[in-house]
């Protein structure tokens, strides 16, 4: 585990030059409620809100001490850890969450770091793929079965034939440049940066389109807990959420701080590139906001989930969808904002 203790917090804040006030000795002497957090991927800047909250005592301020574990290709899936009792809160994606619920897990979704998923497609200027109809007959460099599912569902939602060729590929977009396919499944916060570093310009040399803009809507980095933990520790869940809200707000004010924390501390053993992490952070910040100004960051939108997101799930073949009121708590984020000081 990685307990967030006072010494590491002071050291991290001093190194990052953060201006937010630290807590008093009295606050640290209080009995904080421990919450075990399981990330869904390696410790990088996609968790910027958490890192800044840890470094500035933003969760301890609300009575919560966080122990966290990274995810990654060699770690169990985050919801497996949650189901096994190894975590109290976990990050996951929308479809993994739905599948886990349908397998009998009593999970509750409480928020989403990214109301708009960064998942999408890169294509080159000579043959841009920007609309669902552009996918018909195309050769798509897809990294995983989930990418295939997203493309099939996009075509189905648009009422188009499932007519395209899957070309298995790796993580790098270089095969697209070599002409091995017409488009490459990617994340707006990752592979476009690789192309930018090669000297290519978004909108001129290459294009990126979100699956969201193609009609296939999901959330990214949803926050999940178990019903039993939520019922017995609601105050702690709200406290964690309050800290996370403040962490993301701080990240928006200065996108350069969290990347340095990741490179030098939280992901120090991963060999992360600072410039890449800064650029990733700049690209992901707009995805932490709803387009509609009346919708709060991290919050869940019932109408969106029951509408476009459930239709997207049905298009992937997931027809046994649960009542949304049984798998989502729409009040946690609201309570967190109401109780912020």
**Does 91 share its domain with 134?**
no
Cα atoms in the Cβ-side hemisphere of radius 13 Å centred on 66 = 30
Number of domains in the chain: 2
Report pLDDT for 210.
Answer: 98
Distance CA 260, CA 197 (A): 19
155, 182, 210 - which closes a domain: 210
For residue 66 the two structure tokens come to: 């966080």
Report pLDDT for 261.
Answer: 98
Cα atoms in the Cβ-side hemisphere of radius 13 Å centred on 92 = 27
Q: pLDDT tens digits, residue range 26-51?
A: 444 368 999 999 999 999 999 999 99
Report pLDDT for 292.
Answer: 85
- Count Cβ atoms below 10 Å from residue 45 Cβ, excluding itself: 27
Rg (CA), the chain: 20
**Does 159 share its domain with 279?**
no
Report pLDDT for 293.
Answer: 85
The pTM of the full predicted model, rounded to 2 decimals, is: 0.88
Task: Identify the domain containing residue 134 by its residue range.
Answer: 119-210
**Does 68 share its domain with 158?**
no
Picking from 150, 142, 151, 152, the residue whose alpha carbon sits closest to that of residue 185 is 142
Distance CA 313, CA 138 (A): 23
**Does 170 share its domain with 251?**
no
Q: Is 275 exposed, middle or buried (0-12, 13-18, 19+ CB in 10 A)?
A: exposed
Report pLDDT for 127.
Answer: 96
Distance CA 73, CA 174 (A): 22
210, 242, 273 - which closes a domain: 210
**Does 167 share its domain with 234?**
no
**Does 202 share its domain with 305?**
no
Picking from 173, 140, 135, 142, the residue whose alpha carbon sits closest to that of residue 156 is 135
**Does 314 share its domain with 176?**
no
Q: Quote the Cα angle for 92-95-99, to 5°.
A: 100
**Does 235 share its domain with 190?**
no
**Does 148 share its domain with 226?**
no
Alpha helix (H) ranges present in 17-138? 25-29, 48-55, 78-83, 94-102
Write out 240-279 in H/E/C secondary structure. HHHHHHHHHHHHHHCCCHHHHHHHHHHCHHHCCCHHHHHH
Distance CA 48, CA 280 (A): 11
Q: To 10 degrees, what angle do helices 48-55 and 6-16 make?
A: 110
Tell me which H or E stretch contains 123.
Answer: strand 119-124
Cross-strand bridge partners of residue 209: 121
Q: pLDDT tens digits, residue range 163-210?
A: 999 999 999 999 999 999 999 999 999 999 999 999 999 999 999 999
**Does 179 share its domain with 155?**
yes
**Does 111 share its domain with 123?**
no
Write out 301-328 in H/E/C secondary structure. CHHHHHHHHHHHHHHCCCCCCCCHHHHE
> For the domain that residue 140 is a member of, what is the CATH number?
3.40.190.10
CA 51 to chain centroid, in Å, comes to: 14
Report pLDDT for 11.
Answer: 35
**Does 123 share its domain with 112?**
no
Residue entry with tokens 């958490």:
50
Q: Is the dihedral of CA 236, 241, 247, 249 positive or negative?
A: negative
Note down pLDDT in tens along the chain; length 341 residues.
444 332 233 333 333 334 344 444 344 436 899 999 999 999 999 999 999 999 999 999 999 999 999 999 999 999 999 999 999 999 999 999 999 999 999 999 999 999 999 999 999 999 999 999 999 999 999 988 899 999 999 999 999 999 999 999 999 999 999 999 999 999 999 999 999 999 999 999 999 999 999 999 999 999 999 999 999 999 999 999 999 999 999 999 999 999 999 999 999 999 999 999 999 999 999 999 998 888 999 999 999 999 999 999 999 999 889 999 999 999 999 999 997 65
155, 189, 210 - which closes a domain: 210
């Amino acid at each position: 585990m990685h307990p967030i203790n006072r010494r590491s917090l002071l050291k991290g804040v001093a190194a990052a030059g953060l201006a937010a006030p630290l807590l008093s000795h009295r606050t640290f002497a209080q009995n904080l409620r421990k919450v075990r957090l399981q990330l869904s991927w390696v410790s990088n800047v996609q968790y910027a809100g958490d890192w800044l909250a840890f470094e500035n005592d933003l969760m301890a301020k609300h009575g919560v001490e966080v122990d966290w574990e990274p995810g990654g290709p060699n770690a169990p899936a985050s919801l497996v850890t949650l189901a096994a009792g190894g975590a109290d809160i976990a990050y996951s994606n929308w479809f993994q969450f739905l599948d886990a619920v349908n397998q009998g897990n009593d999970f509750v979704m409480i928020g989403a770091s990214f109301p708009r998923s960064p998942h999408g497609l890169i294509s080159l200027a000579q043959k841009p793929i920007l609309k669902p109809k552009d996918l018909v007959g195309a050769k798509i460099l897809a990294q995983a079965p989930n990418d295939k599912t997203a493309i099939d569902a996009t075509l189905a939602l648009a009422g188009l034939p499932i007519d395209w060729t899957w070309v298995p590929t790796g993580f790098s977009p270089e095969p697209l440049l070599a002409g091995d396919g017409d488009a490459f499944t990617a994340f707006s916060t990752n592979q476009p940066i690789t192309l930018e570093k090669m000297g290519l310009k978004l909108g001129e040399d290459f294009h990126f389109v979100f699956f969201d803009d193609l009609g296939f809507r999901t959330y990214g980095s949803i926050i999940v807990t178990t019903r039993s933990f939520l019922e017995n520790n609601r105050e702690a869940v709200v406290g964690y959420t309050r800290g996370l809200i403040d962490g993301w707000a701080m990240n928006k004010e200065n996108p350069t701080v969290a990347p340095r924390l990741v490179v030098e501390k939280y992901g120090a053993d991963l060999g992360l590139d600072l410039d890449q992490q800064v650029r990733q952070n700049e690209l992901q910040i707009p995805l932490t906001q709803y387009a509609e100004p009346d919708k709060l960051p991290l919050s869940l939108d019932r109408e969106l989930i029951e509408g476009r997101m459930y239709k997207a799930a049905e298009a992937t073949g997931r027809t046994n969808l649960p009542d949304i009121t049984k798998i989502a708590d729409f009040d946690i984020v609201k309570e967190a904002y109401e109780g912020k000081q």
